[in-house]
Structure 1
Amino acid sequence: MSDWEVVLKNNYEQLVGYLVAYVPQIIGALVLLLIGWLIAFLFGRLTLTLVSFTGKLLNRAGNALSLNKSVSIKPQHAKIISRTVFWLIMIFFFAASLSSLGIEFIATWLRELLGYLPNVLAGIVIVVGGFLIGNVAKTMAEAAASSTGIKYSTRIGILTKWMIVGIAIVVGIEQLGMNIQFITTLIIVEVAIFSFGIALAYGLGSKELVKNLVGSRQAGKHLHIGEYIQIGEYRGKVLGFLQTSLELETENGRVLIPAKIYNELPCEILLFNETDNDEKIASQKAPR
């Protein structure tokens, strides 16, 4: 037998020996992967069911609060979450399989990745929660602004949402271990300045609105529909008390006057004789 035949034979025998020695480990790794796939599949389906059920609960709660479009979880989002859970479990079993085969450098890298993933998941949860809370706050801000007659209620709602989302993103990034203290401080200062400006503008802008609201409430307590009154230059029959105004029927027709006038000017209740319709002025000031 020639030298090269001997070398070839020895290499073949060594290869067969390695394969025989590694067959149990390969089989064990494949079994681990199969078990991991089954567990990952089950947990993925369970996660999909739980997220879908949570979405239905949020929809029901949203319907009760008229916020159903803001807090709903879409089916594709539930699928993304379930697939994420599936692959997290698969990565764990990949690392275990590689470790059983002696491929430690890849297994070590995967284990380090798994150790860092909780922070990533926490950051994702914070950001997603920020979006949900931001949507709810957007709807509530729009409703509050609309109820007070503010013209740009939609813009206020959008701005409120993205303020909350921005804070959630910053907190989520910090959860990843990144040092963004300067950005965090800057955002907090800007949000504080913006909130103060909004509060100041709203307070100044709603001063007249509050006066009218209070005036309408006081007029409704002391006046009655059908009475004839003289208040400032307006004289007529009381037809109703609106949210911010008084409705009178005058000689020239129906007129709406700002309700704040009731608290600012003397108000006389006029008495009429039912037969000749002569006016007798009671000269009494409506009680406050």
Structure 2
Amino acid sequence: MQQQYDNWKELLTNSFDHFISTLVAYLPNLFSAVVLLVVGLLAAALIRSLIVRLGQWIERFAQRVGISSYYFRVRWPITRIIATIIYWLVILFFVTAAARSLGLPGIAEWLNKLIDYSPSIVVAALIIWAGFVLGDFTREKLAARFRGSRIQQAEQLGNAARILVITLTIIIGLGQLGIEVGLLAQLLVILTSAVMLALALAFGVGAGTTVANMIALRNLGRHYQAGQRIRIGEVEGVISELSKTAVILDTEAGQAIIPAKLFQEQECILLDEGD
């Protein structure tokens, strides 16, 4: 019994001594790895701060000299995007060095491959960022144009165009990363066709009344002119102007704007030829 106890004691003592000796031998590598990680975090934070400040300085300078660039007003400024990408690349570089210091060749090799792949990641990120910027710009312009044409669902159509642009740039970005995007490209074609059909229908519905008024006014110009007194429906007055889509009458109650297509739908009586 005593012999067995001594054997266990010797086994535990040897194991503990081996653990301590291994830990002591490994401490320099562990210390180096910790130092590398701390230095990497500090360096990455410093570089990111410098890039952000440089971008802010460029923005102030551009505004001072009167340069109005759209990307200064987007919600994802390019300088912050670049600063964030470089921040993580610097951290990745120091993490790789720390893995080598700890004697972890497998992890270090994998991180090295990721570093080699980083240029493609940066380009893909910038392409996708540009897609979001262009998508926002397209949405604002289309929505404003549709609102000006009195087309309903202007905001929805603008959002659809934004999604289309962003989807296109995401597919391009994924292709930059070497990802097979054939199926996504086919889906994009279908989505594009659907959006274009929606835009065509919206334009047709929204512009239908305007086109009808313009056509009707061309016919009215052959029979009516400014200065004539007419009655259409319950409205009576003197024609003051034939605009592009309506007839403007001066009535006793004030100025009345009559859509031109109403002259084809209702009876109009010429009361006085005028001068």
Whichever residue aligns with residue 249 of structure 1, its letter is D
Q: Describe the superposition over 1:233-270 as per-residue Cα deviations: whole angstroms up to 9, x where unpaired.
A: 8863234555632220347875322246899x9x9982
Q: Alpha-carbon deviations, 1:92-148, whole Å to 9, x = none?
A: 122134335543222112111222333333333222222221111111111111111
Instruction: Give the TM-score of the pair, scaled to structure 2.
Output: 0.66
Query: CA offsets per residue over residues 8-28 of structure 1, 9 Å max, x none?
Result: 7xx78x959x84x995x7776
Is it true that 1:185 corresponds to 2:186 in the alignment?
yes
Q: Deviations over 1:188-225 (max 9, x none)?
A: 133124314522552465244135357779999xx987
Give CA deviations for 1:138-169 in whole Å, capped at 9, x if unaligned: 11111111111112212222222222222223
Question: Which stretch of structure 1 is more off in the superposition, 253-262 or 40-49?
Answer: 253-262
Q: Does 1:270 align with 2:265?
A: no
Greater mean deviation of Cα atoms: 126-135 or 234-243: 234-243
* Cα distance per residue 1:44-69 (max 9 Å; x no partner): 11232245457779999xx979x89x
- Equivalent residues of 1:228, 1:235 under 8 A apart: no
Instruction: Pick the aligned partner of 1:47 from 51, 74, 97.
Output: 51
Contact in 1 for aligned 2:164/2:191 (Cα 8 Å): no
1:218–1:134: structure 2 CA closer, same or farther, 3 Å change rule?
farther
Native 8 Å contact 1:123 1:173 kept in 2: yes
> In structure 1, what is the equivalent of residue 6 of structure 2?
none
84-93 vs 229-238, greater mean Cα deviation? 229-238
Matches within 5 A, 1:77-88: 82-88=83-89
1:57 and 1:219 mapped to 2: Cα distance? Answer: 57
Match in the other structure for 2:7: none
SS of alignment partner, residue 178 of structure 1: coil
Question: Match of 1:247, SS?
Answer: strand
User: How many Å separate the matches in 2 of 1:239 and 1:35?
Assistant: 80
Classify the secondary structure of the residue corresponding to 1:142: helix
Match of 1:115 in 2: 116
1:231–1:262: 8 Å Cα contact kept in structure 2?
Answer: no
Give yes or no for contact 2:157–2:199 (8 Å, CA) kept in 1: no
How do residues 130-169 of structure 1 correspond to structure 2 at under 5 angstroms? Answer: 130-169=131-170
Residue 247 of structure 2 aligns to a residue whose secondary structure is strand
Quick one: structure 1 residues 98 and 193, their matched pair in 2 at CA, closer, same or farther if it must change by over 3 Å? closer
Q: CA RMSD in A?
A: 4.9
- State whether residues 151 and 205 of structure 2, in contact with CA within 8 Å, keep that contact through their aligned partners in structure 1: no
The letter for the 1-side match of 2:50 is L
Residues 152/51 of structure 1: CA separation in 2 closer, same or farther (3 Å cut): same
What SS does the corresponding residue of 2:274 show, helix, strand or coil?
A: strand
Structure 2 unmatched ranges of 5 or more: 1-9
- Percent identity, aligned pairs only, is 24
8 Å CA contact retained: 2:140, 2:158: yes
2:151–2:206 contact (8 Å) kept in structure 1: no
Note closer, same or farther for the CA distance 1:82–1:136 as it changes in structure 2 (3 Å cut). same
SS at 1:206 equivalent: helix
The secondary structure found in structure 1 opposite 2:258 is strand
- In structure 1, runs of 5+ residues without a counterpart are 273-288
Rounded to whole Å, the distance in 1 between the matches of 2:185 and 2:21 is 60
Out of 85-94 and 30-39, give the one that drifted further.
30-39
Structure scoring higher RCO (CA < 8 A, sep ≥ 6) equals 2
| Count of residues in Structure 1 that have an aligned counterpart in Structure 2 | 253
